[in-house]
Structure 1
Amino acid sequence: MGTRTVRDATRELLRNLGLTTVFGNPGTTEIAFLTEWPDDFTYVLGLQESAVVAMADGYAQATRRPVLVNLHSAGGVGHSLGHVFTAYRNRAPLIVLAGQQTRSLMPDEPFLGAVEAANFPKPYVKWSIEPARAADVPAAIAHAYHVATQAPQGPVFVSVPVDDWDAEATMPLPTGHRVSGFAPDPDALADLAAALDGAQRPALVVGASVDGDGAVPDVVALAEKLGAGVWAAPMSSRCSFPEDHALFLGFLQPERRAVAEALREHDLVVVLGAPAFTYHVYRGEPEIPLPPLYLVSDDDQVLARAGNGIGIRSTPKLAIRALVEKVVPGARQVPARPDAPGKPVEATPISPDFAYSVVADLLPDNAIVVEETPSHRNCLHDHLPITATDTGFLTVASGTLGYGLPAAVGAALGRPDRKVVAVLGDGSSMYCVQALWTAAREHAPVTFVVLDNAQYAAVRILGESAGGTKVPGTDLGGIDFARLAESMGCPARTVEQAADLRPALAAALQENGPSLLHVRVDPNPQPLY
């Protein structure tokens, strides 16, 4: 019997941890890890490292499971960092495993070597290491798994020199299991329950971590028992309350005065699984104070920024379920939700509102919507209500463009039982358009709808609202997304007339694998917030 190598031990560990699906883009420093690839492992190839990380992020979020990402030394890790930042903001449990040059060459700063590899992705990984000895590699990966999957979840990084994989495995194989969530302090929870019972007009503000913890049905039960209105947190990257529910009040905007105005009718606000609050623009301090506020989060840094709010540390589901048991049922007057906008007009040029309304009409039951249309977010809110209570919606928490297209591929690979519909801007799509090749190669069940307004409209809108004039670098146009998709094996069609949109989307949704619809929309931008 031959020597048991670090590679052998690591593969056994990965099987034990359920990490046999690997997203990657390999280089020479990864060959020793990849050689004689096991038949029970799946390697999902992406054509650029940033797309690879975003695909893995979508996969991890849709499945609520950690995933291994395989990158190439300094150059590959460097390409990936924009979406490592996104994975950190998305709280995606990615174990990023990167190659490194041979240990004996490192004193001479070799070609392809990563100087201070473990520091390279910081601060946007929860933990990072290059093991001191080859024999420590499996233990380092097991440690990374535990850190990545403990709340708050997030990416971790392990750099492995190429010669480590063939070294003898001399250490015992680590065992591993995911650490469960943690409950709130009983006294703090009792205080919150009493505050809710005494409130006449309480509001719940729900963020991405509620859906991330699978707690949407629980927060629905809490809202209904209280008779409390529910707001979506500013810039939330997931849907954590069904948007067709009678208690859903709408979306808080990422601006201080707008948040204060929206919440002014409430006498108590409880923020669940979100910061209080995420802002994007500054237009001065609000003239009215926020109501008394409680903040329930599993993230000590979020709690540290609670300001005058009262923080309670807990993973969302355990806190929400405990509150459902403790609070007294109430028949409260919920503030009126603004009237829903009317049905958009079918006219050419196609308006983003109309495009979203058609998607809403044709969206399959239990579909996952992945969105990255920064200049049309209000159109999404107005015309495409998300109703699924299990990962019904994913978008980018960091604001780093290029997430939506590859994340949709990853989500489709993770949940092949559900149709994935990705609604994307033209500018956003071009950052990681290579992921269309992976979608075609893997026959992923995803429909891409690219809304092409021929510009970086969000930059233009926010720039003009801040007083900018003649800002360069915002005009696009002339990109043929249908031909791009077809060149990578993905069926596609361009739509310019409003009357053609519905039948074209219906046909695209019937495809068993991926398809793309290139929709030319009105280039006149609308206000964001």
Structure 2
Amino acid sequence: MGTVREATFDVLRRHGLTTIFANPGSTEVSLLTGLPDDLRFVLALHEGSVVGVATGFALGREAPALAVLHTTAGLGNAVGAIATARVNRAPLVILVGQQDRRHLALEPFLAGRLAGLAGDYPVRVDQPVRAQDVPGAVARACHEAVTGRGPALVVVPMDDWDAEWAEDVVAAPTRVVRPAGVADADLAPLVTLLSGARAPAIVSGAGADWGSLVTLAERLGCPVFQESFGGRAGFPQDHPQYAGVLPADRARLRAVLGAYDVVLAVGAPVFRQYPYVPGPLVAPGTTVVVITDDPSEAHRSAADLAYLASPAALCTRLSALLPAPGPPDAASVVEGSAPTIGADGVGLPPLPVGGRPLRAAHVLHELALRLPADAVLVEETPSSRPDLHRLVPARNPLGFVSAAMGGLGFALPAAVGLRMALPDRPVVAVVGDGSALYGVHALWSAAHYRVGALFLVLANGRYAIMDRLADQRGGKAPWPPFTEVDLAALARSLGCPARKVDGHAELVAALEEVVPTLAAREEPLLLDVDVTVDPDFQP
């Protein structure tokens, strides 16, 4: 005999969900008060940060993370972060508090109409019919989050936690096994297609497995592009076959892929775009194949052939079935190769006399010179993203992590969660000042829980990408700059150490001091770096 709360805690332990990310409200007090010693509570100061930190934790662990939200207000505040978690393939279990079940029919204060509030972004939303169904609903949410690669929500009325638990059955399996084998007969059409290809290419995405994709790319001897707006690097960006980030509009996409007769998208949709440009995605004569374990990604991709399967298992078996490669098509590889800038800085904009004002490229170049290969890098700097792609190659699968949804407020909390999940890995968030303001409250969690991440803010005092988009339309932007904002001061007010940096010498000195300490660091640091907008930047 026990309570629903105690039975649910047993489910959480069984699934490794012993860290609870939350910003509590009154409807969650009965769950959270007097937690057992083996359950860790992590406070974030806003629900967007709650889900953002949990998302980073899930991505770092490659396992579900647990978040608790407060009825309508908490879930509403977190919807953008829930959408990001879904598009970033982060498995989350989210418990949402609700008013007391015994008078919900009267819609009392804090009662929420919660089932559809997060739209279609959750992979499942469950409102258990009885209090005694809550433990099974939470166990099912764990499985649904992994299978659906996204957030699974369970809405729990506040009185359910104290209800008596005397059930014999939890309505969910203890363990789910997901076989990943791929039959040779199913691969035969793809083997035939690639064996006869004159010039194949690969587009890698966040769902790709690095080891098997490297083997396949080397077997084919072909260039590998990174999907545009991807949530994670899909291929080592220092590999000689890496060809850069795919353009995000149809005209440039056709130009880049026009040299290839077979394009294989692995762990990526076909193809992520931003501006609408009429015309087909690829030129006539190019066959497109997609390999993904995400059903919606497979079903919406404009491909000639789609495989809904484990990319790792499929690429591994495909490499074994393909014939030995012939001589590489050197011309196509050179044409698609990613631009690079050497350690001497050739190709960078000239450094001004006195070392200021800096451009984002100067900052990223100095970071790249010092960043270790195992570093986790979280990006949220839209106006500097092309420079980051060009200057800071991802050398491990978390060497580039970004909000694939496109909304702001991801990087700071995600970096906190990633560092919590990977306490021995260097973690750096490269963030614009406009982006940082959407998640700045996460710095308190970083400081309080001694999360030794580096937050590198590229501060230009404006929404530079929006300014440039307005310029392209030939109109005047109605929004002003926000040069009064002082991110270093905001960070310090939240307990996070911070420094202002406005010149090259100060930047180099700070990075030389801090970057070598990142793997062992227990104290966060924010570097607020003044940069000027690149006049040649094109969104």
TM-score (norm 1): 0.95
Give structure 1 stretches of 5+ with no counterpart.
Answer: none
Instruction: Look up the match of 2:362.
Output: 354
Matches within 5 A, 1:446-465: 446-465=453-472
Opposite residue 312 of structure 2, the aligned amino acid is K
Query: Match of 1:483, SS?
Result: helix
Within 1, Cα distance between the matches of 2:219 and 2:38? 47
Distance 1:284 1:525, change over 3 A: farther
Task: Measure how far apart 1:303 and its partner are.
Answer: 2.0
Contact kept in structure 2, 1:346 and 1:499, CA below 8 Å: no
Instruction: Look up the match of 1:408.
Output: 415
Matches within 5 A, 1:405-484: 405-465=412-472, 467-473=473-479, 475-484=481-490
Per-residue CA distance 1:504-528 (angstroms, 9 max, x = gap): 1222333532101000001345433
Per-residue CA distance 1:448-473 (angstroms, 9 max, x = gap): 000011111112222322x1411222
Q: Is 1:153 equivalent to 2:160 in the alignment?
A: no
Distance 1:6 1:472, change over 3 A: same
Per-residue CA distance 1:74-118 (angstroms, 9 max, x = gap): 111111011111111111101110110001121111111112x22
Instruction: Look up the match of 1:202.
Output: 200
Task: Measure how far apart 1:23 and its partner are.
Answer: 0.8
Instruction: Look up the match of 2:527.
Output: 517
- Select which of 48, 56, 59 maps to 1:58: 56
Task: Measure how far apart 1:474 and its partner are.
Answer: 5.3
Please tell me the root mean square deviation across aligned C-alpha atoms, in Å.
Answer: 1.6
Within 2, Cα distance between the matches of 1:93 and 1:474? 38
Within 2, Cα distance between the matches of 1:476 and 1:273? 39
Instruction: Look up the match of 1:496.
Output: 502
Within 2, Cα distance between the matches of 1:81 and 1:454? 27
Task: Measure how far apart 1:259 and its partner are.
Answer: 1.1
Per-residue CA distance 1:106-162 (angstroms, 9 max, x = gap): 1111111112x2222221101101101000000111111111101x41111101000
Distance 1:135 1:279, change over 3 A: same
Query: Match of 2:165, SS?
Result: coil
Task: Measure how far apart 1:355 and its partner are.
Answer: 0.7
Distance 1:209 1:290, change over 3 A: farther
Distance 1:523 1:491, change over 3 A: same
Identity %, equivalent residues: 38
Per-residue CA distance 1:478-507 (angstroms, 9 max, x = gap): 211111111222111111112211111222
Matches within 5 A, 1:340-419: 340-341=340-341, 342-344=346-348, 345-347=350-352, 348-388=356-396, 390-419=397-426
**Is the deviation greater in 175-184 or in 359-368?**
175-184
Q: Is 1:93 equivalent to 2:83 in the alignment?
A: no
Contact kept in structure 1, 2:270 and 2:303, CA below 8 Å: no
Contact kept in structure 2, 1:235 and 1:253, CA below 8 Å: no
Task: Measure how far apart 1:391 and its partner are.
Answer: 2.2
Contact kept in structure 1, 2:18 and 2:39, CA below 8 Å: yes
**Is the deviation greater in 296-305 or in 248-257?**
296-305
Distance 1:526 1:164, change over 3 A: farther
Opposite residue 162 of structure 2, the aligned amino acid is D
Contact kept in structure 2, 1:237 and 1:396, CA below 8 Å: yes
Within 1, Cα distance between the matches of 2:419 and 2:303? 42
Contact kept in structure 1, 2:261 and 2:285, CA below 8 Å: no
Contact kept in structure 1, 2:488 and 2:527, CA below 8 Å: yes
Q: Is 1:268 equivalent to 2:262 in the alignment?
A: yes
Distance 1:364 1:71, change over 3 A: same
Instruction: Look up the match of 1:70.
Output: 68
Instruction: Look up the match of 1:187.
Output: 185
Query: Match of 1:431, SS?
Result: coil
Task: Measure how far apart 1:200 and its partner are.
Answer: 2.2
Instruction: Look up the match of 2:310.
Output: 315
Task: Measure how far apart 1:361 and its partner are.
Answer: 0.8
Contact kept in structure 1, 2:242 and 2:338, CA below 8 Å: no
Task: Measure how far apart 1:175 and its partner are.
Answer: 4.5
Query: Match of 2:378, SS?
Result: strand
Per-residue CA distance 1:329-354 (angstroms, 9 max, x = gap): 21321421255343523332101111
Instruction: Look up the match of 1:229.
Output: 223
Query: Match of 2:538, SS?
Result: coil
Within 1, Cα distance between the matches of 2:432 and 2:303? 38
Distance 1:514 1:143, change over 3 A: same
Within 2, Cα distance between the matches of 1:32 and 1:487? 31
Contact kept in structure 1, 2:339 and 2:390, CA below 8 Å: no
Within 2, Cα distance between the matches of 1:393 and 1:206? 13
Within 1, Cα distance between the matches of 2:177 and 2:49? 29
Opposite residue 320 of structure 2, the aligned amino acid is E
Per-residue CA distance 1:323-381 (angstroms, 9 max, x = gap): 12111221321421255343523332101111110110111331100110011111001
Query: Match of 2:154, SS?
Result: strand
Instruction: Look up the match of 2:289.
Output: 294
Within 2, Cα distance between the matches of 1:253 and 1:178? 39
Opposite residue 354 of structure 1, the aligned amino acid is H
